[in-house]
Amino acid sequence: MLESYKEITSISLNKLKDYLDVIDVYHDSFIDTCRSQKKIEGYIKAHQKKYLGLALKKLYEIDDMQCLENHLVMIEYLFGEHPRIQSLNKNLCNYMLHNGSPLDVYRIVRHLMPFSYLALISLLVDKEVITYAQAAYFSLVEEDIEGAYEYLENCEVEPDESLLNLYASYDLIGYFQLVDHYSKKVSYQVSGGIRWEKKCGLSSHY
């Protein structure tokens, strides 16, 4: 399940404590009893070397992309300014762009780039890392309905029904406009119009 950037980067006291439970099973009892997120963050900062080491050790043990994303979010939140993390982000970003599936690329790289997730979607389309349909899906996840419409409108073949149904749950009028748009495009092709060579559809990766 792909969460929106805003959802997954929202850090609560319980989320912070759960993360510390994972990376440090034998943590100080202060963590369990403290009811102030600010104080816990101050405690981690005071013991940065220890907790950064534990966080990286756990990160390197992960082989699941959703779990990796969760850990990256916490590491960025707690240690994002540390040189080791900045170097890690650069190397991981480069690796994902060359080796990840479209879904995994977006899931991970949106936390590693120095610009907005909406700008990232546009960049990935321009670089042909993702299709227009995939860009529309990611835009819907981020609740950018206008952006999703534009990407769907640019699809050269009608996208998968599941994606259109997802769009319809946000904008029913726009959905019918898109259906009409695809119908006219098909009619134009049948009547001898240009042939669409680049296919655009939902990837099996999401």
Q: Are 136 and 152 contacting, i.e. CB atoms less than 8 angstroms apart?
A: yes
* Residue 34: other Cβ atoms inside 10 A: 16
Q: What pLDDT, on the 0 to 100 scale, is given for residue 195?
A: 47
Boundary-marking domain end, from 48, 81, 114: 81
Q: Are 104 and 129 contacting, i.e. CB atoms less than 8 angstroms apart?
A: no
74 and 7 in a single domain? The answer is yes
Range of the domain at 3: 1-81
Q: Are 133 and 163 contacting, i.e. CB atoms less than 8 angstroms apart?
A: yes
Instruction: Kindly tell me if the per-residue pLDDT of 87 is higher than 80.
Output: yes
In-domain check, residue 97? no
* Residue 196: other Cβ atoms inside 10 A: 14
For residues 79-87, average pLDDT: 95
Helices and strands: H and E segment counts in the chain:
13, 0
In-domain check, residue 101? no
Distance CA 33, CA 3 (A): 30
Where residue 202 falls (left for φ over 0; alpha for ψ -120 to 50; beta otherwise) is beta
In-domain check, residue 138? yes
57 and 131 in a single domain? The answer is no
In-domain check, residue 100? no
Number of compact structural domains in the chain: 2
What percentage of the chain has pLDDT greater than the value 90?
81
Boundary-marking domain end, from 81, 108, 138: 81
Distance CA 107, CA 144 (A): 16
133 and 75 in a single domain? The answer is no
Closest CA to 137 of 127, 123, 128, 147: 147
In-domain check, residue 49? yes
pLDDT in tens, 128-166: 999 999 999 999 999 999 999 999 999 988 999 999 999
Residue type, 69: E
Boundary-marking domain end, from 51, 81, 111: 81
The first and second tokens of residue 90, run together, are: 């650069």
Reported pTM:
0.85
